Structure 1
Amino acid sequence: MEKMLEVKDLNISFHTFGGEVKAIRGVNFDLYKGETLAIVGESGSGKSVTTKSIMRLLPESNSEIKSGQILFDGKDLAKLTDKQMQKIRGKDISMIFQDPMTSLNPTMIVGKQIMEPIIKHQNMSKSEAKERAIELLRLVGIPKPEDRFKQYPHQFSGGMRQRVVIAIALACNPRVLIADEPTTALDVTIQAQILELMKDLQQKIDTSIIFITHDLGVVANVADRVAVMYGGKIVEIGTVDEIFYNPKHPYTWGLISSMPDLDTGKSELYAIPGSPPDLLNPPKGDAFAPRNQFAMKIDLEQEPPMFKVSDTHYAATWLLHPDAPKVEPPAAVLKRMEQYPGVK
């Protein structure tokens, strides 16, 4: 498969009054043509920082890409100037942000906001750009697009505003689309519609998507592959079936166990004990060790490498070492594995 994007050994820090926060610590992943890669994890795990670094949208005043490469079209995006990035941002790589109300300009009609990237990157006249904007509004499912073109963001519902944001992101048929929790601010019904819309649009324009979320239920519906992040690192990566039905990292077990299950009849939800690590002073060994009931002595002393589970599945846990004791995943994870035995 053709690689659209390669992230190699990415390290990013933020310089704060308290010291250097090592937010991203050696992240590696590839994005292939036409696929959806979901990046999941708790708040603070590094999902948004990783993807904003691809767009070069991190604040220059206090953030720094310490090392690593972000390869796209033979170029290292980490080394491009802001002027060079402006030619890529919005044209080849676009982003859908979490809150549509803060993404849209309240003083400008939505039609003009969709026209802006089209005029800048596609060299179209204003009349051609207007036609294209109306076509995009129709494509994302907004009724009466000719009338809606002239309206302001406050005249749209939350779901409709998110559709407008998606239309802006798709204006130049980007090859890579980054969706940063695009359904979090929406209710469940609208969320399902937006996810269905994104799947449909991906097939129509053949774009590759990086989908950031903390909701594993969303991942099951949209992703081809899943990268699980914790403490600024990817701790497990694999196909959606491998992550859901044959997870290997204790953190992934915790995420799956904390998903609501309508069949169990339990009144309480499982929660992973403890809290994420302080990245001002990253832990010496496995960052998840203090919260891991299966942690061994080596977890506190040495960081685990990525162990190969299959050609598409890797996990950074000492439990996969040949000398490690055999540990049974929690009951909720075992139940899922029984539902889908073909991945084992």
Structure 2
Amino acid sequence: MDNLLEVNNLHVSFDTYGGEVKAVRGVDFSVKKGETLAIVGESGSGKSVTTKALMGLIPSPPGRIKEGEILFEGKDLTKMKDKELSKIRGKDIAMIFQDPMTSLNPTMKVGNQIMEGLIKHQKKSRSDAKKRALELLELVGIANAEERLKQYPHQFSGGMRQRVVIAIALACNPKLLLADEPTTALDVTIQAQILEVMKDIQKEMESGIVFITHDLGVVANVADRVAVMYAGKIVEIGKVDDIFYNPKHPYTWGLLGSMPSLDSNDDELYAIPGSPPDLMHPPKGDAFAPRSDFAMKIDFEQEPPMFKVSDDHYAATWLLHENAPAVQPPKSVQTRMKGTTQESAGGDGV
């Protein structure tokens, strides 16, 4: 299947008074039609900057795409002028932002905000746009849609506002949906409902989704593939089962080890020691080495290439080199891996 989106060697920098911040440093990934790719990592790893680059929303100055290409249906978005991009934004590529209160215009009725894209991109009349807006509110699970169209964002709860943001993003049936931590500010119950809405809508529209999150629990429920980002780079990428049950990079081990698990008897959650590096002065070698218990001398000297684990699974760690010593993941990660092995072998699993 051809890729809907293909990102090749993407570099994004920000020029500050202190110097150049290299926020994204050579990112490669692709998304197929109907597929969900989750990008995970700590705050500051480059997830949101990558997503905004896909939409052409990097503020210039101080930001700029230094290098690379973003191919959407074979066309390079980095070569397009803002006028060309504005025809794609909202129509073919739509974005669900993290905070619905800042995404919505507080002075406009919700109905007008949903109808805006329909009138601009699909040239619908106001009556047809209103009819579609009603359908979208019902699609995302908002009752009394007719009445709700006439209300302002402050009259909605946080979960309802996020549903409105999703309705706006879906208004023009986008081929690619970018979701930047769309459930972070919501409680667990509403979060589950929003994720269910997104999955149902994807099935209906066959949209590709890039889902940004730091919550690995969310990833397990929504993603087909997962890209793990650290210090502006993708350090591991694979199918969701590869990342959860056969992880290879020490950073992925750390993220999984810090997740609560019913299988663990530990009283305390694991926390990755140290802090992410300063991307104004990226470290030599593997950027995660100073925080890793498994770092070798070469990690501080040379950056590891992407080693192939399987046709769909790659990881940038020297531990996969043929001459590297054999090491075992932390106990908490091994427990998770063993649990899945039993399930796939036909055990009870639960």
Please give the alpha-carbon distance, in whole angstroms, between the structure 2 residues aligned to 1:197 and 1:138.
11
Quote how far apart the aligned CAs of 1:336 are: 1.3
1:79 Cα offset (Å): 1.3
Match of 2:236 in 1: 236
The Cα of 1:143 is off from its aligned counterpart by 0.2
2:291: which partner in 1? 291
Instruction: Kindly state the Cα deviation for residue 60 of structure 1 after the two structures are TM-superposed.
Output: 1.0
Question: Counterpart amino acid of 2:263?
Answer: D
What are the superposed Cα offsets for residues 277-300 of structure 1, whole Å, 9 maximum, x if unpaired? Answer: 110000110000000111000000
**Equivalent-residue separation in structure 2 for 1:56 and 1:260 (angstroms):** 37
Note the C-alpha offset of 1:337: 1.2
Q: RMSD of aligned C-alpha atoms? A: 0.9
Aligned partner of 1:301: which letter?
E
Q: SS of the residue aligned with 1:87? A: helix
In the other structure, the counterpart of 2:348 is none
Amino acid at match of 2:156: F
Per-residue Cα deviation, 1:176-195 (whole angstroms, up to 9, x for no partner): 00000000000111111101
Could you tell me which residue of structure 1 aligns to residue 73 of structure 2? 73
Q: TM-score, normalised by structure 2?
A: 0.97
> Residue 171 of structure 1 aligns with which residue?
171
Task: State, as a whole percentage, how many aligned pairs show the same letter.
Answer: 73
Q: Which residue of 1 aligns with 2:138?
A: 138
Moved over 3 A (4+): none
2:249 aligned partner, one-letter code? H
Deviations 1:208-228 (A, max 9, x none): 100000000000000000000
The AA in structure 2 aligned to 1:212 is I
Q: Secondary structure at the match of 1:22?
A: strand
Structure 1 partner of 2:196: 196
Runs of 5+ unmatched residues, structure 2: 346-350
- Matched with 2:153 is 153
Aligned pairs (5 A) from 1:102-121:
102-121=102-121
The answer as to 2:55 corresponding to 1:55 is yes
- SS of the residue corresponding to residue 9 of structure 1 reads strand
| Contact 2:264/2:332, CA 8 A, preserved across alignment | no
Report the more deviating stretch, 228-237 or 191-200.
191-200
Residue matched to 2:301? 301
Structure 1 length as normaliser, TM-score? 0.98
Gaps of 5+ in 1: none
Q: C-alpha distance in 2, partners of 1:101/1:149?
A: 17
Q: Does 1:20 align with 2:54?
A: no
Letter in 1 for 2:171: A
Which residue of 2 is the match for residue 336 of structure 1?
336
Amino acid at match of 1:233: K
Task: Quote the offset at 1:244 in angstroms.
Answer: 0.1
Per-residue deviation, 1:76: 0.7
Counterpart of 1:186?
A: 186
Residue 6 of structure 1 corresponds to 6
Q: In 2, Cα distance between the equivalents of 1:240 and 1:42?
A: 18
Tell me the equivalent position of 1:213.
213
2:314 counterpart of 1:310: no
Q: What is the match of residue 45 of structure 2?
A: 45
Distance, in Å, in 2 between the alignment partners of 1:276 and 1:128 is 50
Between the aligned partners of 2:200 and 2:267, the Cα distance in structure 1 is 36
